[in-house]
Amino acid sequence: MTAAAELQVIEGRHAPAPTTILPPNNPIEMIARALERGATPEIIDKLMDWQDRLDKRDAVRSFDAAFAVAKGKFPPIVKDARVNFESKRGGADTDYWHETISGIAEKVDPILAEHGLAYCWEPRELDNGKVEVTCILSHVGGHSRRATLSGAPDLSGNKNHLQAKASAVTYLERYTLKAVLGIASRHDDDGRGGEPQINPDPGRTMQQRAPAPAAPKGPRITAKEAADLKARFEKARAAGADETQFWRFAQAEKYEDVAADRLPTIISALKSRYGV
């Protein structure tokens, strides 16, 4: 073998393999290549729009996958709070069960967080005096889902103007959360097996009547004591007392029905908690 031939063979062995130029397979690479080649701003805009659409599609897919798994882990949501008070305007009394936001949150928050999901609310006051609440369920991938409801201030139970709005916001927060999570609830009958069957509020705004709790036995308070108790509670309510909780604690539906032996306990509780 001549020196020239040997050099050719050596060069052939060490010659690098030809480079195969592959087309870019995603918009970012295409944008970079287009910039290198001096593409027009219109072409760059179209490529960026394409990338944005792909990102949104991937975010929706990630959201749906995470939510599907999370929802499958939700335990039963129970209606654990009762609203029961006598109408002060001559209409039907109010008596129904509902789930609480804290009760729902306790069940679903850890599961949602495990799968990169979280929710929040955006309340606002409308021009017609109503309030509107939007619940937003967001995923770490960037996609979110919303549920919006609006309603008038809740004037039940002799609330003042601010309390009526706050009550409506709480109500709308509860139902927008249920809507965005797609959850239903069942009545919690735990510990009430001896009571008549109650048909709870099915999740609509219409109230359903339920049997009133049995009145306590024994003598009732006097008219003067009832008027004094009412005045005390009005002061306590101005300080933040909840009327539903008050009647539940009093074991009565109106002041005149409060048992005489229960009155000292009620007054003591009002004094210690609200100073009235």
Q: Where are the domains of the chain?
A: 24-72, 75-211, 213-276
Contact assessment for residue 63 and residue 139, using Cβ atoms and an 8 Å cutoff: yes
CA angle centred on 93, ends 91 and 99, rounded to 5°: 135
Kindly state the tokens that stand for 121.
Answer: 């609310």
Tens place of pLDDT per residue across the chain (276 aa): 444 444 444 444 444 544 444 445 566 676 667 667 776 777 767 767 777 888 889 999 999 999 999 999 999 888 877 777 666 655 566 677 778 888 899 999 999 999 999 999 999 999 888 999 999 999 999 999 999 999 998 877 677 888 889 989 998 999 999 999 998 866 544 333 333 333 333 333 333 333 444 445 678 899 999 999 999 888 888 877 788 878 888 888 889 988 888 888 888 878 877 777
The contacts of residue 22 (CB under 8 Å, 6+ apart) are none
What CA–CA distance (Å, rounded) separates 78 from 194?
19
